Each structure stands twice: as structure tokens, then as C-alpha cells.
Amino acid sequence: MALWHRVRAWVRLRTSLGLYYHPEYAPECLSRTCRVPGLPVNRVEQAVGRLASEGVLRAGSLRSPRLASFDDLGRFHTREYLESTTDRETLGHIFAMDPQEIEVDPLIYAQRRAVGGTIAAARAAARGGLRVAFNLGGGFHHAEPDRGGGFCVFNDVAVAISHLRGLGYQAPILIVDLDYHQGNGNVVGFSSDPSVLVYSLDGSIWVHEHPASSESYLLPPGIGDGAYLERLAATLPRALERFRPGLVFYLAGNDVLAGDALGGFALTPEGVLERDLFVVRLVRAAGARLVITLAGGYRKDAWNSSASLLRFLLTGEAEVRPILDGDLRAEFGRIAQSLEPRELRRDDQVAFTLSEAELFEDLFERLPEPRVLGFYSASGVEYALERYGILEKLRQRGFSDLLVSIDASDPERQFARIHGSKGSQQGLLLMELVMRRRSLQPEGEVAPPFELLSVEWLLLQDPTANFSLERPRAPGQRFPGLGLAAEIQELLVQACRRLGLDGLVQRPSHYHHAAVEREYRFWDPEAEGRMEALRQVLAPLGVAEASDLLQSGAVRLGDGSAVAWEAADLILAVSPRLGAHWESAGYRGVRDRTRQALLDAGLHVASVALERTAV
């Protein structure tokens, strides 16, 4: 099913669904607003990171919009108001911030970029190229033609509609506004335009106008899923049937969730998803095109409701997934979306005075520095380690003077190392990673081979620490580990996604190396069957202890013969195609027969060894 979801997402993103986003959407300075202390400004990155971790979004899946021009903005907003938007006092009022703390450029660029996203989404949907276009921002419905408010400088939906009208789009347009707060900007802005209908379910009224172009329903505080959805089902289909729009803008506000800092409703995440699906399916059944914007949402987990809607649009799966503490892959997926390729490839020795075309078309051919995996420069590796927080975690462990180095001169053995100091101990080797690209061809298949990132050697060690009962020495260890294996793995997973590789491959030299890798599968189904049998027999023991017993010959068959550890290719699938390899009937059949044969042969741990470990 996971594979099918990934395939479906891939198809939809290329045929019927467009997602628009730019990192400028979320200026960090907004977290200082006094209206919502600690305003979560990274909710889109969290939602995108979650879906990237599930494999249904990749770097490059999001479309980057241009900035809305002042000509675009002037189609809806007055010239006098636009001129005032660079004034700190004006922006301080809109964002509830001390004017002295206002950073004009980031705020204005964020809103212009988000308006550009809604314009791009609206154009793509109106042309018929996309059935659904989702701008992962916008919904600035409080901006009227001559004023802003409520975090809204420019009204993106109104500007986009005005833009479409300027291009000659004449079909009726319906705005479905399900943010908690009334969209006064659209109510006022289209009060005399019979070709635009504003429909809303409101918990907070901002303007007491009731033009014919507005159909709004005020709901009581504390309303829950049942009553809210009942009112939606009783009113929206009727408005849609009466108005018969060619295009629908849906403001999917998540400030209707219970406990929202600025909302007063009590919907659950499941109720919000049911609301979203009702709107999407209703518009689809009516034959209209749909543009979605994010709108409000000030609960810390509001991003998960956006992720649920995105997951449905991408895969058809209607499910609210729990938020997992320490969801490392989601976090790294979010970070990967923000990393610029030029930063990962740049050479600090080259002056960046060249044009972008020269950089990407000519510069790399002339650079003498070899690149890890044909892509990452030395400074790019350091940049990635910094952005993913790995260097910071080393500093938190007391290491300083961190030095990142690479050696990419040999395509078959490419090195990345981190050295550091602690106290009087200088130049300590903390990490050594040896890697290369590899291809594996499924036996008997004519399909293209799988392209993999092969980890030939990975050393993570703390030379200043000692082994203990809680951290016993495992076979092959000289020093205790750093506790960063999961972070390094997730960094490599993101590298595979960026480079279009199918997965990670390693050859674990000891049982404990493989036992901790629950997501990995052996390429050889017989090796996977052996591993499953060993896991079953060694389950009562600690991983280090089990590995030691296996190496000492204490794991045996019923005839008394010792079972030795056999190194083999162990793979973490990143691409859907490689994931499907593990699910094939041929692979599963060989794996299951091998596992059962070992168990039937009396695979066990010698009782003398068990008694020794108990003592």
C-alpha cells in the first residue's frame, strides 16, 4: 500500500495536482508577534517534512512562485495603501508587533511571495492544467482594498481573482472561507461584484456588511465536529449548486481546532480532515477547479491537519496520523527542502561573482576539487552537517574546533571525516564515513539496475568516553559510540533522495550492526531469512550480548554446529521501486523458507553460554 501511495502521489503531481511554496513564506521575525507569543512560523516545513519522510514528497515536488508585482497588487489594493505598506507603523498594526522590531523587507517579501503563489495556483487551475492547486501559504483574507490587518498585508485570493479577470477569465468564482475568522477583505472587496460569491462559516465577525455577494453563517463558541459538519453539509452544497462556479478558492483554516490561540471552536483533527474532504469532494463532483490556501492555524500541531489534507490530495489516504516525538526523518525531510543545491556544491575557494548560468553550466566543469558522490563539495558537506544539527550535537557533547574534511579523489572509496578537540585532547577522530555509488541488478530481471549509495565503512566514536554496564563494548569497538548513528543515516537518506538513488547499502561485519537496523533488508532473501531466525532466537538478549555470543560460537544448530555471522548486502529502500523488491512473492518465499529451515534445524543458544551471561 505504501508503494501504491507513492506511485499515486508521483502521478498526481505530474498530471492534476500542483503544490506551491517558497521558504520566504515564513519570516522568522513573525514569532515575536504579541498576538500569539511564539507563533509557529514553520508549520509548512513540518507538514512537508512529514510527507517527505513518508516518501510521497521529494525535493523538487513543490513549485516555487515568483513575487507578486506591484501591478498585480494594484489590481485590488489602492495605490495609497500600497505605498503605506513599507511603513513600520502600518506593519506593526497588521502584525501586532512593536514598530521598532519590524523587519520590513522579510515581511513584505513573504506576503508578496505568498500572493505570487496564489496567483500561480489560480492561473494553473483556471487554464485547466490542474484540478487542484494548493498554495502552502496565503489565505490573507483580512486585507481590504485600502487597509490590512490580522497578519494580512495583501489579499492574495482577491489579487489572484483580479489577475484572472484581467486575463479574461469570466466564469463565476466561489470563495469558501472556513477559517475561524470572517474574511472581511473579500466580503468588502467583492461586495459589488455579482460574479464572486464569498461563503463562510464564522466564529468571529470583522465587518457587519451583508452584501448579496456574501453568504455567511455565524457559529457559536465551542462548536464541535458534529454540529459544525452538519451546518457545512446543509449550506455549502446549496450555495455551490445555485452559483455554479467554474473555479473555487478554499481557505482551509486550521484555527478551528480546539485550543487554538485565536480561535473559539472545538474541532478535532479528525473533524478538520472530514471538513476538508467534504469540500474537496463536493467541488470535484461539481466539475469546478479548486485552489486551496492555508489561512490561519495557531495551535502548535495545526501543521498536522495541513499534512493530513496534503496526504489525501497526494495519495487518496484519508487518515490523521499521530505526531511522533523525535520524528527524525520528518525533521530531516523538512531541512532537506530548504537546502539550496548551490550551497551543497559550492567551493569556498571560488569567488561567487559569476552569473547563475555560469555557475551551473560552466563552473563545475572547471573546478579542480572532486566532489563526493559527484555532487557534494567539502564546504557543502560541512554545510549539510551544520544544517542537520550534527555538528551542534557534537559541540553539546563537549567537542570544539570541529574540522570537516573529504577525500573524493577515488570514486571507489570516498571519505568524509570529522575531527574535534576536547580539553587537552586535540584532533580526535569522531567520524569517518567511506562511501561510493553502487549498482545492483535483480537476478533474472531485465529492469534497470538499482542505483545505491554504498556505506563501505562508518565509524562514530567518542575517544574520551569509557564503556560501562549501560554501554558495553560490542565486538569490533575501540571506543563507545557518539549516539549519532540515526542522524547520520537520515542525512544519507536525504542524500539519496536528492541524487535520485534508490537506497542505502552496507555490509555489516557483526550481528549488532544489522540488528539495530530495523528498516533495512538484506538483498539476498536467504540472508534475510537467516537474520529473521537469529532475531527470533536472540530476542531475549541485549544486542551487544547477542552479537558477542554469535561471534564466540555459542549460537548453534541442533547437531551442535556453530552458526557464524555472514556479511551480506543490507539495504534501506528509499525509492518505491526498491521497496517493492522486498514485497515480491519470490523474495518473500525464499526468505520464509530459509528462516523456517533454520528454526526446524534447532537454532539455539548453548545453555552453557546462557548460564555464563546470567552470572
The whole-angstrom separation of Cα 210 and Cα 424 is 75
Question: To which H or E segment does residue 437 belong?
Answer: strand 425-440
204 CB burial (10 A radius; 0-12, 13-18, 19+): middle
Question: What single DSSP character describes residue 362?
Answer: I
Rounded to whole angstroms, what are the CA distances from 44 to 134, 176, 303?
A: 12, 21, 6
CA end-to-end span of the chain: 47
- Identify the helix (H) or strand (E) that includes residue 249: strand 247-251
Write the burial class of residue 312 (CB in 10 Å: 0-12 exposed, 13-18 middle, 19+ buried): middle
Task: Tell me if residue 386 falls in helix, strand or coil.
Answer: helix
Check if 142 is active-site: yes
Q: Which grid cell sits at 360?
A: 551551473
**Which of 77, 142, 181, 581 is flagged as catalytic?**
142
Cell numbers placing 245: 462556479
Residue (of 388, 357, 123) closest to 249 by Cα position: 123
Closest CA to 65 of 151, 124, 130, 139: 124
Phi, psi at 496, each rounded to 5°: -60, -45
- Residues forming beta bridges with residue 334, ordered by sequence position: none
**φ, ψ for residue 25, nearest 5 deg:** -60, -30
Beta bridge partners of 415: 407, 434
The Cα–Cα gap between 270 and 213 comes to: 31
Phi, psi of 571 (to 5 degrees): -130, 135
Count of CA atoms in the C-beta half-sphere (13 A) of 601? 18
Cα 519 to Cα 609: distance, rounded to the nearest angstrom? 30
C-alpha dist (Å) from residue 223 to 228, 230, 243, 254, 273: 6, 11, 28, 14, 16
Residues whose CB is less than 8 angstroms from the CB of residue 37 and which lie 6 or more positions away in sequence, other chains included: none
The half-sphere exposure of 29 on its side-chain side, counting CA atoms within 13 A, is: 20
Identity (one letter) of the amino acid at 184?
A: N
Map residue 407 onto helix, strand or coil: strand
Q: Residue 298's CB: how many other CB atoms inside 10 A? A: 22
β-pair type (503-506, 604-605): unpaired
Q: Is 586 helix (H, G, I), strand (E, B) or coil?
A: helix
Q: Which active-site residues does the annotation give? A: 142
